Amino acid sequence: MSTLELSEQEIIRRKSLEELNKLGINAYPAAQYKTTHLSTEIKQEFDPEKDNMKEVVIAGRIMSRRIMGKASFAELQDAEGRIQIYLNRDDMCPGEDKTLYNTVFKKLLDMGDIIGVKGFVFQTQMGETTLHVQELTVLSKSLKPLPIVKEKDGKTYDAFTDPEMRYRQRYVDLIVNPQVKEVFEKRRTIIRTMREMFDNAGYLEVETPILQPIPGGASARPFITHHNALDIPLYMRIANELYLKRLIVGGFDGVYEFAKDFRNEGMDRTHNPEFTVMEIYVAYKDYKWMMEFTETMLEKVALALHGKTTVTIGDKEIDFKAPYRRLTMIDAIKEHTGIDINGMNEEQLFKVCDELHIEVDETFGKGKLIDEIFGEKCEGHMIQPTFITDYPVEMSPLCKKHRDNPELTERFELMVNGKELCNAYTELNDPIDQLERFQEQMKLSEKGDDEAMFIDMDFVRALEYGMPPTSGMGIGIDRLTMFMTGQDSIQDVLFFPQMRPEKKVQPDSDEKFAELGIAPEWIEVIRAIGFSKVDALKETKHTKIFQDICGYNKKNKLGLKNPSQDEVKAWLA
RNA sequence: GACUCAGUAGCUCAGCUGGUAGAGCAACGCCCUUUUAAGGCGUGGGUCCAGGGUUCGAAUCCCUGCUGAGUCACCA
């Protein structure tokens, strides 16, 4: 990168780096740096009465500096937090040579640099536990200045909040906004709590294909890719359901997977193209059992995170204490619209949608119509955790028919804060019924529903060998994390949410400028005054370019010999 | 995909009905040995997102585009 494209502060930092090298200091040393403590450990263990920490070594990033002549305070941030360090010229440099303090620390180090320090711990007059530095090692020089965030009594000054920069440069966000780390630590706790529960129950954690020849297990548009050696299309999975059920056929009594799924659909506050789902399948159980299992699981997760079952989301308090309300889909619709859709045919349902002013189109089947009514009129009202049960058979092609009503299926979704969180079935294990349901989906697909499921004949074949009665459940981990941590955007629970790629104007090469007869030393200057393209340069008056580059030369004290006006004119000819 | 809002110094933001850009922090220089968001004094720092248009003159008004956020639509 040419220095002319850098900001003033970046240039200064690069110069400091050179100065360090000249002093024989490697700003990027290779050797391991052995620390004895983390910042939090020092704060916990230090007892000023006993003066019990005479030699500690820590490493971290300089986050603030207060220099007062021969002594300075700085804050070092490590993986756990921040600790203040105290640097005194004559303690760091006991001999005649004061370079390490005067030059290295005061002049050549900056906020953002990573250093290691060795010394003893004491308490300042202000009562703050502080490390008195006796040795300092440069571990990594930072060439880009960090945003400066300051905080006092919980009030934050100059917070780094621009969402675009926070998500694109998550590393900066993590350095500067400590609360962000907490969200991801909680995410880990959520997953760990669930995994422990499943493992204790004896279920097996498994991995199944992400690249699938038939994208099954859900209704969604997949990403398509291509395998060169096989010369076939492959789909990124939209669900892992069919593979996990094959494993139940194979003889495992309980399997689960924390899986990345991919759906080629719109993005918004609750949808990212890739997202994490946990699916679990347990043999010899039904969806009633699974409801109890699910509410127990969520109660455990809430307790592990907060020590209580209630969680605050926005202005609402949500209680994850089991048991949760159970409500059939038909009853939910009755409750929120006053209409009993029980036993209605497709035509009648179209009429209901019309009365309720719900937009539909003729490709919709019975199941999708009911789903629309529910989604439009009921879903948003389910704030406290509520199991919605017994979905119409048309919208649940992988789910067993209801034991009391063949129009319905043994399915539940868990609604929280007006959003779907879990989806579960008594799994369909009748191979003949399963094939028919797949064929129904084919008809929907022919009708124009581009999300209807594909037929997976191998899955049907697996069922033909016999799958024990099984219940399965899927839960969106991102959404769960949002609920449990009070974040209202999925981008805040993913380290690297999908973003449009950054676009940079691709500048013309040096060669292209050189072809015009421009001397190498002037090419950078021409870029610096705003011309990255040869074409743009050619369309500009030579007098303006002449003035701009001479002005730039003078202003930045480059010491170049200015070209004549005619020379500049010749470049553009 | 539609609409609304936003994009100005490394960061957070001002900038009125058009008159060639300001503050705080950060940086740089000097002075300061237990300070704590911010010590004192001084200095520098900008392709005002990009490209067009209107105008004597555009950060400001108009159009197009790019990026992000929000609302809706689509979607589990």
Residue A74: band (very low, low, confident or very high) from pLDDT cuts 50, 70, 90: very high
pLDDT > 80? residue A372? yes
Low-confidence winner among A110-119, A301-310, A445-454 (lowest mean pLDDT): A445-454
CA distances, A165 to each of A5, A141, A142, A148 (Å): 20, 22, 18, 14
Residue nearest to nucleotide B44 (CA to C1'): A8
**Assigned token pair, A399:** 């789910």
Q: What DSSP line would sit under A6-62, residue for residue? A: S-HHHHHHHHHHHHHHHTT--SS--S----S--HHHHHHH--TTTT--SSEEEEEEE
CB-based contact A218:A397 (threshold 8 Å): no
ipTM computed for the complex = 0.90
Q: Which residue has the higher pLDDT, A445 or A482?
A: A482
Instruction: Measuring from the CA of residue A111 to each C1' atom, give the nucleotide at the shortest distance.
Output: B26
pLDDT > 90? residue A4? no
According to DSSP, residue A131 is labeled: E
Which pLDDT score, from 0 to 100, does residue A1 have? 39
CA distances, A3 to each of A7, A352, A529, A552, A556 (Å): 8, 68, 13, 14, 12
CB-based contact A114:A59 (threshold 8 Å): yes
pLDDT > 70? residue A258? yes
Residue A320: band (very low, low, confident or very high) from pLDDT cuts 50, 70, 90: very high
Nucleic acid strand B: bases within 7 A of protein CB: 1, 9-13, 24-29, 31-39, 44-45, 47, 51, 66-76
| Spatial CA neighbour of A17 closest among A107, A99, A116, A87 | A107
pLDDT > 70? residue A112? yes
Residue A96: band (very low, low, confident or very high) from pLDDT cuts 50, 70, 90: confident
| Spatial CA neighbour of A416 closest among A311, A503, A328, A555 | A311
Beta pairing, strands A470-476 & A419-426: antiparallel
Element holding A76 (H helix, E strand): strand A71-77
CA–CA distance, A144 with A11 (Å, rounded to integer)? 9
pLDDT > 90? residue A207? yes
CB-based contact A324:A313 (threshold 8 Å): no
CA–CA distance, A435 with A460 (Å, rounded to integer)? 7
A503 CA – B61 C1', rounded, Å: 28
Residue A159: band (very low, low, confident or very high) from pLDDT cuts 50, 70, 90: confident
Of the ranges A170-184, A192-206, A211-225, A555-569, the best mean pLDDT one? A192-206
Mean pLDDT of A239-265: 96
Phi, psi of A174 (to 5 degrees): -70, -35
| Spatial CA neighbour of A117 closest among A34, A3, A4 | A34
A302 CA – B70 C1', rounded, Å: 30
Mean pLDDT of A304-330: 92
Q: Which residue has the higher pLDDT, A168 or A155?
A: A168
Mean pLDDT of chain A: 88
Q: A60: Cβ–Cβ under 8 A, 6 or more apart, which residues? A: A39, A76, A77, A78, A82, A83, A114, A115
A9 CA – B43 C1', rounded, Å: 15
CA–CA distance, A529 with A551 (Å, rounded to integer)? 10
Instruction: Measuring from the CA of residue A530 to each C1' atom, give the nucleotide at the shortest distance.
Output: B47
| Spatial CA neighbour of A27 closest among A17, A36, A38 | A17
CA–CA distance, A484 with A478 (Å, rounded to integer)? 10
Mean pLDDT of A449-463: 86
**Assigned token pair, A86:** 């105290």
| Spatial CA neighbour of A513 closest among A540, A547, A537 | A537
pLDDT > 80? residue A192? yes
CA–CA distance, A508 with A536 (Å, rounded to integer)? 11
CB-based contact A405:A431 (threshold 8 Å): no
CB-based contact A139:A114 (threshold 8 Å): yes
Burial A450-468 (b: 16+ CB within 10 A, else e): ebbbbbbeebbebbeeebe
Phi, psi of A395 (to 5 degrees): -100, 10
Structure confidence by residue, pLDDT tens digits, A134-150: 999 999 999 999 998 88
Beta bridge partner(s), residue A226: A233
Q: pTM of the entire structure?
A: 0.87
| Spatial CA neighbour of A329 closest among A386, A290, A291, A383 | A386
A271 CA – B5 C1', rounded, Å: 22
Mean pLDDT of A162-166: 91
Mean pLDDT of A479-497: 93
Beta bridge partner(s), residue A259: A277
Residues 247-306, chain A: which have Cβ under 7 A from strand B? 263, 265-266, 268-269, 271
pLDDT > 80? residue A426? yes
A348 CA – B1 C1', rounded, Å: 31
Strand B contacted by A361 CB (< 7 A): no
Structure confidence by residue, pLDDT tens digits, A378-424: 888 889 999 999 998 888 899 999 999 998 999 999 999 888 899 99
Which pLDDT score, from 0 to 100, does residue A241 have? 96
pLDDT > 60? residue A3? no
Determine what percent of chain A is predicted with pLDDT higher than 90.
63
CA–CA distance, A460 with A214 (Å, rounded to integer)? 13
Q: A410: Cβ–Cβ under 8 A, 6 or more apart, which residues? A: A286, A287, A389, A390, A399, A400, A401, A402, A403, A425, A426
CA–CA distance, A560 with A572 (Å, rounded to integer)? 20
